[in-house]
Amino acid sequence: MSFDIEQIKAKFNISNNNLIYKYLKFKTKSVDRDSKARRSLGNIYALKVLIEDFLEDRVNGSSFSELLERQKKKPFGSKIQNHPLDNRLNDEFRRKFGVKEEMLPVQGLIVDKKKYRKISSSLISDKTEDPIKLAKFVDETIESFITTLTGKQTDFLNKIENLKSKENYDELLEYCLNSNSDARLFEIFAYVVLEIHYSKKNISITIDNKKTSHKLSLHKTGRTNANDGGIDYVLKPLGRFFQVTETLDFKKYFLDFTKLNRFPITFVIKVENNPKEVMKMIKRNAQNTFSDDVIDSYMNLFEEVITSQTLREYFKNVIKEKKQIIFKKNLIQNYKLEYGYFD
């Protein structure tokens, strides 16, 4: 069964103006197969465990550690950290709706010198005469969202497993490079294609007159949302840093160079322009802000620009060189790792 928040809203007769409904509608966009919204479950699960306490009539809620443990036990939740319950869920509500403190989802209280967290009584009563009905709406919406999301991820894995014809591979290529596809999927696909591309190359290094040969190997530094300092891949033994992005905003690139003490970076960019066009666009957009000398100093730090066009050419070589088996194996492994199948 597909996810339909409007159908669930109608079932429980929830107002269009209810804040939790608005929030969940925004957060569950990523269930759409063509959505580029990140599937971030931390805040959704934080709301879910608070609602569970409300439905189970835990008047004082639960301790932080108990809530976090329950979040981690949910599908793909084992890597969730303390931030959603600590401040991120409240911060997102504050930014999105500009509400007062009493309307923020996570409310803290102290009972017998112990700290607890519970759902805001003001929020769970928003635009409704039946808070229990609203809580059931939230619980069912999130359960349906996770079930649908899990099913779509399983369908995608099956799609990879069943890749056979050239048409199948072409379809996968277009799906992963689509401008509206999930950002994490693009990063995984790009990594697997580039990993195969660089694995065919060798370099020689001479140290103290001793020459050694090395095979290039690309390594992913962590998950897409990991706190990795903005470095997504590293190429050994050259020590090249790669960053994956979708934007052409020159400020983003210049700031990233500054963060790395002006160390050169290879950017993998999800755009259909060729690399030379991208470089010209970035330089042109910076000319109203910086002097030519400053711009040149930053432009020289682009070690290489790889775009969707580049990835298309590299992917053609994967098929041409009959490396489909290793491509499928690596794509499945990295997809499962990214989406928490090994958690």
Tens of pLDDT, residue by residue over 153-199, are: 888 899 999 999 999 999 999 999 998 888 889 999 999 999 999 99
- 312 with 171, same domain? yes
What pLDDT score was predicted for residue 225? 56
- 173 with 55, same domain? no
DSSP H helices in 178-249? 183-199
Whether 40 maps to a domain, the answer reads: yes
- 193 with 283, same domain? yes
Percent of the chain with pLDDT over 70: 94
Whether 343 maps to a domain, the answer reads: no
Question: In this structure, which long-range contacts are made by residues 122-127, counting pairs with CB atoms below 8 Å and at least 24 apart in sequence?
Answer: 123/19, 123/20, 124/20, 124/51, 124/54, 126/18, 126/19, 126/20, 127/14, 127/15, 127/17, 127/18, 127/19
CB-based burial label for 164 (10 Å; 0-12, 13-18, 19+): exposed
CB-based burial label for 135 (10 Å; 0-12, 13-18, 19+): buried
Q: What is the DSSP letter of 84?
A: I
What pLDDT score was predicted for residue 35? 45
Number of H-type helices and E-type strands within the chain: 15, 9
Average pLDDT for 46-71:
96
Whether 91 maps to a domain, the answer reads: yes
- 178 with 324, same domain? yes
Nearest to 184 by CA among 237, 226, 134: 226
Whether 110 maps to a domain, the answer reads: yes
CB-based burial label for 157 (10 Å; 0-12, 13-18, 19+): middle
- Is 227's pLDDT higher than 80? no
Give Cβ neighbours of residue 9 (< 8 Å, ≥ 6 apart): 16, 21, 137
Q: What tokens appear for 62 in the block? A: 């639960």
Distance CA 189, CA 308 (A): 11
Whether 138 maps to a domain, the answer reads: yes
Number of domains present in the structure of the chain: 2
- Is 152's pLDDT higher than 90? no
- 139 with 172, same domain? no
Average pLDDT for 283-306:
96
Whether 185 maps to a domain, the answer reads: yes
Q: How confident is the model at residue 224 (pLDDT cuts 50, 70, 90)?
A: low
Distance CA 330, CA 341 (A): 14
C-alpha 298: how far from its chain's center? Answer: 27
Distance CA 146, CA 123 (A): 23
- 254 with 331, same domain? yes
- 106 with 185, same domain? no
pTM: 0.77
- Note whether 205 and 216 are within 8 A (CB): no
Distance CA 91, CA 94 (A): 5
- Least confident range from 175-184, 196-205, 220-229, 234-243: namely 220-229
- Is 343's pLDDT higher than 70? no
- Is 297's pLDDT higher than 60? yes
Find residue 244's DSSP bridge partners. Answer: 268
Decide which of 94, 129, 153 is a domain's last residue.
153
- 145 with 172, same domain? no
What pLDDT score was predicted for residue 75? 87
- 126 with 245, same domain? no
Residue whose structure tokens are 């700031």: 255
The CA–CA distances, whole Å, from 95 to 36, 231, 266 equal 21, 28, 33
Whether 158 maps to a domain, the answer reads: no
Q: How confident is the model at residue 338 (pLDDT cuts 50, 70, 90)?
A: confident
Distance CA 54, CA 64 (A): 15
Q: Position 148: which residue type?
A: T
Whether 94 maps to a domain, the answer reads: yes
Decide which of 129, 153, 177 is a domain's last residue.
153
Decide which of 153, 188, 215 is a domain's last residue.
153
- 169 with 148, same domain? no
Average pLDDT for 39-55:
92
- 174 with 320, same domain? yes
Average pLDDT for 105-120:
94
- 127 with 223, same domain? no
Give the domain extent around 267: 163-338
